Structure 1
Amino acid sequence: CCLHFSGHGHAEYLLFEDGFGGSHFIGIDGLGKLIAKPKIKFVFVSACYSETFGRAFISSGVPHALCCETDSYLADTAAALFTRSFYGALLEGRTLKAAFDLGRGAVFVRNGKEESEKFLLLPEDAEHDVCIIDADLQESVNEAKFERHIPAPPPDFIGRQLLLHRVVSSVMLEKKKS
C-alpha cells in the first residue's frame, strides 16, 4: 500500500481541499492524527517544501518517503514528469531506488540538474532496492486497456477556481438547509 499526495505545500503545512472547495491546512500534528499505525510501504509527498512531511512519515514508521527539499519550490512540470517516470518504472517491476533514479533522470533531461536534485528519497541511509509492486499487480496492469474519455484542456486554458468555489459553496449550503 502506498500514499500519494500531490498538491500545494509549505514548510509547515500541506494544503487540502475542504468539502466546499476551499483551503484546509494540515500541519505535522494534524497529519499524525490522520494516519495511525500505517501499513504503508512508501509515501510520495509531491508538493513544494515537503521534506518535513516526508521525515514525519519516516518517523511514524513508513519505511520509504519521496518528497521535495524543505527550502524548494517545485515546478509543476517537473513534478508531473517525475511522477509519470517514477510510477511507470514501478509498474515495469523496477525497484523503488531504480524508479526514483529514472524519475530524477527524466527531470534532469527536461528541467536540469537543480530541479532534479529537489526530489528526495528518505531515509538517506535506508535500503531502497526493494520492489514495491508485486508481480500479480504488474501483470494485471500490463493486461488492462486504458481509455481516455475526457479530452485534455487546451494549453491556454485558465481555470475558474473562484467561480467554482462559489458554486460549490452555494450548492453545499443549500443542501444543508434542506
Structure 2
Amino acid sequence: MQIIAGKARSIELNVPPGMGVRPTAGRSRKALFDSIGGALPGCCVLDLFAGSGALALEAASRGAAALWLVESNPRHAAVIEENIRKVRRAGVEAPIELLRASVLDTAVWVRRIVPAPDFIFADPPYAESAEFFRQLTADARFTEAFAGARLIWEIPDTPGAVGNFLSSSGVTSLQVRRFGGSDFLLGELCHA
C-alpha cells in the first residue's frame, strides 16, 4: 500500500498482519482525497481506528497541518509509528500524534485534540462499525468537542449496511457517497 499524492507520494506503508486491519483500498483512498481537493491543506485531521495510519498519513502528505491517530491495538500502533517515520523521511513536517486508546474511551483522548479537527476519518472493523458509529455519535463529549468537523466514515460492504448509519442525532447533512468501489458516510458533527 502506497501514499498516493503529495510530499510522501509512492512511499510504501506497512500494514499490520492478519484480518484485524482492512486498509481503505488505494483507489477508494485516491477518489476520496481527490473529492476533498484543495480543502485539505492547512486543516487538522483526526483518524479513528487508524490501523496502518494510511488515511491520516495520506492527508499529511497532501498538506494537512496537524494530525492525530487513535489506535488501541499495540501491534497496529507499532506499525503506525513505522509509517510515521517513513513519511517524515519523505519531508512531511506536520505534527502527527499517535494516541494509544480505545476510540470509545473519549474521556482519555478527546481533550488532547487541540485545535479541533476539520476532518475526522473512521474506518473501524466492519463487524462492529455500526455499533461504534452509534456509540460515538451519541457521545456528547465527542460531538461537543468536535462540532462542525466533517465526518467521513467508511461503511461496511455488506448488503443493507448503509441503513445502520443513516439515523444519528450527532451528525447532520448525512449523505452516502461511493469512492472507488467503497461507500462512505459523509456528514457534519453537531451536538448530540
Tell me if TM exceeds 0.5. Answer: no
Name the structure with the higher helix share: 1
TM-score using structure 1 length: 0.31
TM-score using structure 2 length: 0.30
